[in-house]
Amino acid sequence: MFNDLKSAVRPALVLTLLFAALLGIAYPLALTGIGQTLFPAQANGSLIRDGDTVVGSDLIGQKFTGPTYFRGRPSAAGADGYDAAASGSSNLGPASRALTDRVNADITTLAETTPSSPVPPDLVTASASGLDPHISPEAAFSQVNRIAAARRLPAAQVRSLVAAAVEQPALGFLGEPQVNVLLLNRALDESVAQK
């Protein structure tokens, strides 16, 4: 038994170091090189820029509170939500009073600003990442009247922006119908700027 152990010392130590070099250093660095060469936009986080300013990422949800923007889902990432350096969810269980209290408060707020019946479930439930970039088409359409009023735009124009932003699942079942909130809001800003 002792000899068995002794004979394993060198392979164990040397292989640990060799694999560390191969898998821990060479492999991720090689992929970084490949990624930065072939897909630089994606490899750097699918960032959206306005000139030199980074305004966000295609894939990362942003916090919208004002009346002139479509809002995303409630977020438990970081202290104020949508903290893209501290992803996370509420982790509240199904029978949690904290959950029903929060949902109830959100329903009340929605009823004041964005009445819709029934309430789109995704607008009052926190996402898993806290950074969900999407809402359902129903949730987006439910906000059209509020935005149109706040921006003094015809509702039909806002509605057509939403319709254009709806992404349908590939093959009809791979994914869910969804609207990217940040991209929709950018399209909204642009359509106003063009006017």
Interacting residue with other proteins among 114, 134, 153, 161 (CB under 8 A)? 134
According to the binding rule CB under 8 A, does residue 115 interact with other proteins?
A: no
Query: Residue by residue, what is the 3-state secondary structure of the chain?
Result: CHHHHHHHHHHHHHHHHHHHHHHHHHHHHHHHHHHHHHCHHHHCCCEEEECCEEEEECCECCCCCCCCCCCCCCCCCCCCCCCCCCCCCCCCCCCCHHHHHHHHHHHHHHHHHCCCCCCCHHHCCCCCCCCCCEECHHHHHCCHHHHHHHHCCCHHHHHHHHHHHEECCECCCECCCEEEHHHHHHHHHHHHHHC
Which residues inside 172-191 make contact with other proteins, applying CB under 8 A?
Answer: 172-176, 178, 182, 185-186, 189
Which residues inside 43-102 make contact with other proteins, applying CB under 8 A?
Answer: 43-47, 53-66, 69, 73, 77, 82-97, 99-100
- Smaller CB separation from other proteins, 154 or 175: 175
- Smaller CB separation from other proteins, 58 or 156: 58
According to the binding rule CB under 8 A, does residue 103 interact with other proteins?
A: yes
Interacting residue with other proteins among 51, 118, 141, 157 (CB under 8 A)? 118
- Smaller CB separation from other proteins, 53 or 194: 53
Which residues inside 10-39 make contact with other proteins, applying CB under 8 A?
Answer: 10-16, 18-20, 22-25, 27-28, 30-32, 34-36, 38-39
